[in-house]
Structure 1
Amino acid sequence: MIGDSDHVAAGPAWRCPTDGDPWPCPPFRALPATEQVARLLTVYAHQAVRDLRHAADPVEPTDTVRRFLGDLSDADAKRVALRLLRTRQPIADPPPTYPHRPMRPLWRCSACRLPWPCEPARRGLLAAYPGRRDALLRHLVSLKVEAQTTLTRLGSPPTPAQLDERFVAWARAHDPAES
């Protein structure tokens, strides 16, 4: 059984985060319509819980869960809200206009075919996170975890040290004054 957010994509790339196919991918289309709607509502609820709890007029996560997923008991709404707050969301790819994007599931650059992030991708990531090294590192660690999972499934897992060097170490070592 696939998870609630498996095979559910978001922009700007609109590719399935599980298999890399254009979305909606065949596994998602094969689901009954009611399950497709339930998965989409869960994904939207995930984002809404995070967004609305920090809005100018904050909304309790349990109220957001009820708004998206229907009439739930207090205990069920709390359990779902906590689960949504604890799980990470899929990471968006760079904009489609940027040529050095990751090709999933191989984690190679779509432009130069080198292991991603290649040098141009690294420069683009640094430019996308000016003065926000912590946010860049969080983003890269999330991508590293995603790459480790998919590359392991493909049977060619790099070591954790190799993945750390490839995805994170270069950003830790970068001097923010050089940006």
Structure 2
Amino acid sequence: MTTHAPVLPLWTCGGCGAPWPCRTRRRELCAEYDRAPASLALYMGSCLVAASQDLSWAPAGLLHRRFVGWLA
């Protein structure tokens, strides 16, 4: 279990306080979904949808880069 889980509704990292997903959590997610990149993309897409509701003031492009833009 990671300490780098999102703190809602602000979507900050519970482990380090950075915007979630933080660098550490991104590495963990890549390792967890190593053989299932499409599943990781779906998961992060669902987080993007939830975050866009909580962070309605944030620009859509910024949220997109934050939640799915880092996926390779």
TM-score (norm 2): 0.93
Report the Cα offset of residue 158 of structure 1. 1.3
1:85-164 pair list within 5 angstroms: 97-152=1-56, 157-164=57-64
Report the Cα offset of residue 140 of structure 1. 0.3
Report the Cα offset of residue 131 of structure 1. 1.9
Which residue in 2 is equivalent to 1:170? 70
- Listed as ranges, the gaps of 5+ residues in structure 1 are 1-96, 175-179
Report the Cα offset of residue 128 of structure 1. 1.1
What one-letter code is carried by the residue in structure 2 that aligns with 1:170? W
SS at match of 2:70: helix
What one-letter code is carried by the residue in structure 1 that aligns with 2:51? A
SS at match of 1:114: coil
Q: Highest relative contact order (Cα 8 Å, sep 6+), 1 or 2?
A: 2
1:35-74 pair list within 5 angstroms: none
Distance 2:4 2:58 in 1: 21
Identity %: 36
What one-letter code is carried by the residue in structure 2 that aligns with 1:102? P
- Listed as ranges, the gaps of 5+ residues in structure 2 are none
What one-letter code is carried by the residue in structure 2 that aligns with 1:109? C
TM-score (norm 1): 0.39
Rg larger in structure? 1
